[in-house]
Amino acid sequence: MNKPSGVTINLLDKQYQIACPDEEREDLTLSARYLDQQMRNIKASGKVVGLDRIAIMAALNISHELLKLSREHKASLEQAQDPVDSASSAKLCEKIEEALYELRQLKIS
Give the pLDDT confidence score for residue 2 in this predicted structure.
56
Query: Top-level CATH class of 5-108?
Result: alpha beta
Q: Across 1-76, where does the E strand assignment appear?
A: 5-11, 14-20
pLDDT digits (tens, 9 = 90+) for 49-82: 999 999 999 999 999 999 999 999 888 887 777 6
CB 7 within 8 A of CB 17: yes
Q: Where are the domains of the chain?
A: 5-108
User: CA dist 81 to 73, 76, 78, Å?
Assistant: 12, 9, 5
pLDDT digits (tens, 9 = 90+) for 83-103: 556 667 777 778 888 777 777
Report the range of poorest mean pLDDT among 2-6, 37-41, 96-100. 2-6
**CA angle, 39 as apex, 36 and 40 as ends, to 5°?**
85
Give the pLDDT confidence score for residue 92 in this predicted structure.
77
Give the pLDDT confidence score for residue 39 in this predicted structure.
96
With a cut of 60, say whether residue 13 has pLDDT above it: yes
